[in-house]
Structure 1
Amino acid sequence: GTVETQINYHRYLATRYDASRDSVVVLGPYRRPIDNQSDVATLDPDAEGRAIAALHAASVGFRQAIENERSRLNLASQLEVVSRSVLAVTSELELNTVLRRIVDLAAELAGARYAALGIPGPDGELTSFLTSGMTEAEEGRIGHPPRGRGILGLLLAEPRTIRLVDLSTHPASVGFPPNHPPMRSFLGVPIVARGHVLGNLYLTEKRFGGEFTDEDARLVELLARHAAVAIENARLYSAIELQQERLRTIIDQLPEAILLLEPGPEEEVTMANSQASELLGWAITTPISVDEFLSRNPRFDADGTPVERYGIPMVRSLLDGETVARHELRLLRPNGDEITILVNSTPLRDSTGMVSGAVVVFQDISQIKDAEQLKDDFLSLVSHELRTPLTTIQGGATMLLRDWSALDAESRHAFLSDIASESRRLASLIENMVQLSNIRAGRHPLETEPTLVRSLVQHSVDAERQLAEDRAFSTSSEPGLMLDADPDWIDQVLRNLIHNAVKYTPAGLPIEVLARARGEWVEFAVRDYGPGIDEDDLPLVFERFHRAASARRSNAPGMGLGLYLARVVVEAHGGRIWIERPEDGGLRVVFIIPALTGDEPD
């Protein structure tokens, strides 16, 4: 039942809620002053004593209940802080950020004014020391961070929790450096993983005075266990990032273009090396969807047929798990250039065998394809150019051997002239091919020497005049000009140019050869009065095996090597060669070579 009583002019109610025990709950006091003594109910002494005893017991139980509730709420709050702390340190992978969060959270959990996290090195000394509670200016005034001596060294030597009321009284204490803030209470907790100390937490100066409690130590130890996992994860992540960076550096140095693809709702190119951007002609920023990536470079088969999406090697590997090897594609760059690429693509699979990505390696084989085409053209050209003089030589020689006595002197001379002419042509073709081979193999380096220009020009003209007695030559060479050059190579250039002029100039028209000073250079020019050259051919006349349209129309023999060899030799001497088209027709080939030293003229 409920007991009502009055103490100090206030009413109180007390009730028994457990009949088997003397458990009392106080319902009161009622804060209603008693104005009249007659209002006071008089209880017998025994009843009043029981009420007072009940109230006393109730007040003790009430205070204990409040204390228990406070402890429960405090524990719940601490567990919430620990939960947030664990989430904070385990959700981050960047090592320095993880370490900073650990030291800040340790200070918060233990209610410490100052906290630090020391990371030991292989020699046992601290290699890193992060603090919480100090400003940068305060740290700067202290100077060099601790190395792990004194009390800090205790945890390095023996990794276990240390709790001190006053760290200055400990035998291992070595004091503080100048400008260090005063510190008394201390809590040290090691961060250990698989028997190895990853770091130590140092907490000092319990807020609001006092010392660190067992509960503080347990909370920080709990944090330390999770911190060990977070540190190892962060270190592993850093190691993986380092390995990935090294791998990317290696991949970027490879001559081939490399792509990494990943599947998903929208297939993506997640990695592309610099060579891929250079080869495709645009800056690839990853990640980029496969469809957007493919849209930048239209693709065609070797016969020019557009390649559909599902026929492209990278898509076949990513979607079908197919390995595609040595697949040739033609593609267009954004600037309009067309290149031929060789693609190798293979799927990546996870532990279950499912396709988890694809690696694509491709390279520009345009030069290889051009070289193959050039080789085919060369073989076709050589077979034609060599067959023609050989046919004439063989036919003429056969006629002379068979019908010598039946032929008159004029016919014999004609056959012999044809044989001699075609033999010279054949020798010229072979000489050009030999020179081309020597240049490409580097077997004929320049051997420069002081050379008299007039003698060089005269020698070249005389050699060609003997082979073209029906041509008129006009030669002009300034006296005294000296050239620092390889005379054999320059002679070869002049003879090639003169030979071309002879080939294209009609009988009766002159071939002009000029050598003169042009500043500190010597200018050579060979002029013919042939069909000239089309404007479209000008950029290509010095390319290997290129024959101008006018030469092809006139059916003039040749392999397109003479001007190419001339350009190579002139540039090797530090000179320049070009074509001029005189208004009165024909062609003028000009090249300049340094006399001894000097700058190129305007």
Structure 2
Amino acid sequence: MDDIEQANQIISVQDELNSAYRMAEERSAVLSAIIDSSDDAIISKNLDGIVTSWNLSAERIFGYTASEMIGTSILRLIPEDRADEEPHILSRLRNGDRVDHFHTKRRRKDGQLVDVSLTISPVRNREGLIIGVSKIARDITAIKIAEEKSAILSAIITSSDDAIISKDLNSTITSWNASAQRIFGYSAEEMIGESILKLIPLDRHQEEPLILGKLKSGERVEHFETRRMTKWGTLIDVSLTISPIKDNAGNIIGLSKIARDITDKKLEEQRKNDFISIVSHELKTPLTSLRSYIQLALIKARERTDEFSTRLLTRAEVQTGKMSTMIHDFLNLSRLEEGKMTLSLSKFSLADLMKEVVLEAEILASSHQLVMDACPEVELLADRDKLGQVLTNLLSNAVKYSASGSRITIDCLVRDNQVEISFADQGLGIAEEDQRHLFERFYRVRQDQQQSHVSGFGIGLYLVSEILKLHGSEIRLQSRPGEGSVFSFSLALES
């Protein structure tokens, strides 16, 4: 071989070495970029546990910089109660084993513990000898928190006395808890994958699209009382609370339904309403007779100018009037709960009705100043008796919650083919919390020393609200504690 060939061979070998070197550099650069850009902490250490490399995510997760960690023991990250993990892992790695997804805790620079999932592999030299350890640590704190929350929610759902059901937007059931099986009779295997319509009576199938429409717009349906069908074909009364289920992007992907069996509650309410109705009817007849006797005795006492008897009988007449109103309220409540309250519509003068109500109230509330501006001569098409009950209840309510001698103002204002009627008092006023519940059945404003004398069952304003709803109206309230209250409503005028 001459010198030229030998030189060419040397050049060729050098080119191959340079090419291999460049490829090694490129691979090293790629690996370095991958390590630096990884969301996981990538750490290497020797067999004595001394850190030899530390990437940016290791700094982000554990708080230490590379200069703080390289050359120090990995034990710096390990809590005292887990110190035995390191020699155990090293022992496995010296045997050539790989440790995958080992869940544990590590300590940050600020002292906080983080949940991590470790994947640990041996690092070998060219001869295959293990010279170190490569560790990938993934922060799974958020996953652990989510798992704990999921476990708590799962325990709540499993132990709940209410049926908790989820379904997709096509009304197909996707989950079914133990109480759903107890209440409706079907097992989870029988219901998951089935339509929720399996539980809905035929005459109530229209409820499902109405509820879905509300929920798809992001609304929540609370305490919706209806009936559902069990596996045995019996109907039960239920109270439903239904909420949209959203994904991480806020898109509605399903519905969560909580169903409470209120059959016993409904039966109890029916018994109570029946009792109230029977008792009220039984009391009404003797009370009517008693009022008649008192009125006759009052006429005779006045004829004899017997002031003492007149005064006592007048008070007796007032009290029997209150009792008669109370019984009338209970009867109306019973009819309303049974769905039997109807309107008997007729045309009548609002001014005449207002005068009757105010004149009667002046007898019962002689210690108050009742001020009513002239009510416009307009005609209404409404139930005169029930509207009279509304006016009487609002006026008597203003009297009850106002101090003796204070003014109660009654206004009638006509605008836009409607008449607005209002009752303004100078009483105690009503707190915002009470206002939210004031028109609920049997709700009474919280008592304090100023109003401990006020009696009642908390049905007057409930009936006012319900009667006005039957007339296509609603009761409105403006009030502040210590500043009095204004109750008002509007009715369409008869054209």
* Rg (Cα) greater in structure: 1
TM-score, normalised via structure 2 length: 0.42
